Structure 1
């Protein structure tokens, strides 16, 4: 999957289901990290920068080149992240008795459903995606990097979900 699809996948796993389940009163939900594979290397990395687990932050800079973060707005329909939110809510959460707690607590099922959901969109509407990975740590070494820049054609393969914490 390309980096834009990976961003959709990470948003699906780490925001939509968890946010809905917490809203429905579920506590102590696990937080997952996606184990990625690229060129036979396994690593953990974030494709998005989250604040408070639910708000995507984008990197900006002032005219004086001072960096800062700004919240990604949720106002435009058919654009990220509203497009994937609407799809997931209509498919899984918009039903009166829907409660995807079992899906969320099964990492294999959650990963499969999230990949399927992210790839099922007809178009990906992410304006000016940042082509970088954050908090990169390779599995076969002790190398940990705050970020790496990647090109537009960078391909990732999601391998597994690893539980990193329970809230």
Structure 2
């Protein structure tokens, strides 16, 4: 999948957790996606997300000081509102829906998240940042805070790994 699709996948998994936490589910596992690129396995974040699951984008102030700003959620049909609506309509259609068992099964969640992303007709992400964050290669144990990539960069999702329980 290309980088935009990978961002959708990562956000899908995060929005499941956010919705379940909102419903009062505590102690949910945190997952990271294991990616494959050019026959190398790596962990990396495609999005910069804060503790409230807001997507952060890099900005520069007029005096060239870098800072993070939240990606605005203003337009229907665009990222991230499109994926939020899709998840809420399918998995949380009523106030009583609570797919906690799906979230706690990493294989089922992974397959469902990929299915959700594949069901998106058009990916609407304006000006995606072409970089990966917190990159860790499994074979060399190399870790990098970020890498810049081009728009043709392909990632293959391999697995969903539980990295912590809150």
Give the TM bin, normalised by the shorter chain.
over 0.9
Report SS of the residue matched to 2:33. strand
Report SS of the residue matched to 1:68. strand
Distance in 2, Cα, partners of 1:58 & 1:115: 24
Distance in 2, Cα, partners of 1:2 & 1:53: 26
Correspondence list, 1:20-39, <5 A: 20-39=19-38
108-117 vs 56-65, which moves further? 56-65
Matched, 1:4 2:9: no
Structure 1 residue 53: deviation in Å? 4.5
Structure 1 residue 23: deviation in Å? 1.3
Correspondence list, 1:49-128, <5 A: 49-128=48-127
| TM-score, normalised with respect to structure 2 | 0.97
Distance in 1, Cα, partners of 2:95 & 2:143: 44
1:97-116 per-position Cα deviation (integer Å, ceiling 9, x unaligned): 42110110000110110011
After TM superposition, the runs of 4+ consecutive aligned structure 1 residues lying more than 3 A away are none
Structure 1 residue 20: deviation in Å? 1.2
Q: Which residue of 1 aligns with 2:141?
A: 142
Structure 1 residue 96: deviation in Å? 4.5
Structure 1 residue 25: deviation in Å? 1.1
Report SS of the residue matched to 1:160. strand
| TM-score, normalised with respect to structure 1 | 0.96
48-57 vs 29-38, which moves further? 48-57
**Count of equivalent residues:** 166
